[in-house]
Structure 1
C-alpha cells in the first residue's frame, strides 16, 4: 500500500478539497473539523453515481467535535479510476486514507453501498475501527429482490423495468445511459415524492458508468457479509428510513441481529435518506451514539 499527499494542507473549521494518491490512484478528499479530534471516515453510496457531497453534508455536521474525512471513492465523482473497483480495493483505499490522516483507529461510516464498504472495512481491518455507523444498507445482496418487488408495487410512478434491470445488474452502456436509468428509479427514494427535486438530483449527479457496472455486475452477486458480522465487536449504530424501498428495514434488522453490540434506529418519516429527510433528528442520534460509545481515539500523527 502506498499513499502520498499531492497537497499537504489540511482544513480546520472549513473544508478544503485535496488530491491525494492512495494505493497508486488519485482520490478527491476533503477534511473537516479540528486537528487532534477523533477521526470519522464516511463513505458515500452508489459507486459511479455517488460522491463525497452526501457524507460531507451529513457527517460534516459533526465536524465541531470530530475530524471528518469524506472522499470520492476510486472510480466515482472526481477521483481517478485506475485498477479494479473490488470491495477489497475500496477497503484498502479506506485504510490508506486512515494512514494518510494519521489515525490509529477511526469511526467508519457509510450509507447504502457506503454501508457495504463500512462493514467490509470493519471486518477486514477490525483493529482499526472504534465504532461503526451505518445507514440504509444491507448485509447481503438479498435486498435486490425486495427492491424489485417494491419498484413494481410503487403507486407514485410506473417504472420502466428494462431500465431498472440494466442499472440493477450493471449493464448500462455509457454515462448518458446511466443518467437515464438513474432518472427512472429516483422517484422511489424519498418519503415524499417531488418531481422537481428528482430532476435536480439527476443534474447534480456525477456519472461514472464503469465503476457502477463493475460494482453491480461483479461485486454484488457474491456479496454476503452475514457469516462475518458476529465478529464485529465495536459499538455499531444502524439507522434506516421506515419507507426505504431499496434496503428496507428488514435488511437493517438482520444487521442488528448479527452484530452483538449494535442498536437500530428507524426514522418514521424517511425513505432511503433519513440524514436528509429527518436531518436534525438523525444528526442528534449519531452524535448521541458516538458520545455514549466514548469515542476518544487520538489522532497520532496528523499532518500539519
Structure 2
C-alpha cells in the first residue's frame, strides 16, 4: 500500500476508532481485549483495497465484530478458569456519558453482566441491534448468518435480556442520591443507614481475580451484605477514602486505601434503592480508572 492509501486508511480508522472500541468493549466487557481487537482490525484494514469499500464505517464495524467474536470464544475458556466471580472491566467515563441514556444503559455494569449469559453470537447480535441500531442485513454480514436467522437471534436475545435487566431505568440523579446515602453509611460504619438504602434482596458481586480478597460467590440479602461490608471494608486497619465517580456512564464509587486505588463499586438502582452492587478489586481491571475513555454509539 502506498503512502496515500495508508493515510486514507489511517484517517478512516481514526475517525471511527471510538465507535469501534465501544463495539468491541460492549461485546467483550474487557477494555484490554477490546484494545487487542482494534490492533487486529487495523492490521486487516490496511490490507483492504479502499476503492472497493462503499461504506468504511460498516466495513470497519464488520471486521471489529468478527474479531470480537473470535476473542469472545477464547475468553470463555479464560473465564471458566477465573477465580471467583467475573465482572466487566470498569471504564472511567466523562460525566456527559451519564446524560446519554442510551449509551449509559448499554454499558452499565448490570446490563454487561446480563450479556455474559448470552452465547457469543447472541451477544454480538444484541449489541449491534439494540445499542448501535444496525439493520438486520448489516448484522447478518458481520456475524455470518442470514438476515432471517439474525432476526430470530435478536428476538431471543432481547427476551433473555429483558427478563433480567432492571425493570425501569433510573435517572443519574436518582442513582447519585442512592449512592450518596450508601457512601455516607459506609464511611461512618452505620449499619441501619446501609439497610435503609439497600433493597432486601440486593445481590453483591465482587471480583478480586484471585489477587485481591473478594467473595468467591455472589452474596444475596441486605443483612448479609451489611455484615460483609462492615466486617471487611469497614474494619480494615487502613485509611479508606470513598469518592464519587462515573464508571461505564453511571454514578459509582472509587475506593482508595492509603491513597492507592483499591477498587470501584458500581450499582444497580431500582425504586430509589440499591438492588445490585458490583465491586471490582482485581488490579488488572483497574487500569482504565485514571483517565476517561471516549465512547460513542454512532
TM-score, length of structure 2 as denominator length: 0.27
Bigger helix fraction: 2
* Relative contact order higher in (CA < 8 Å, ≥ 6 apart): 2
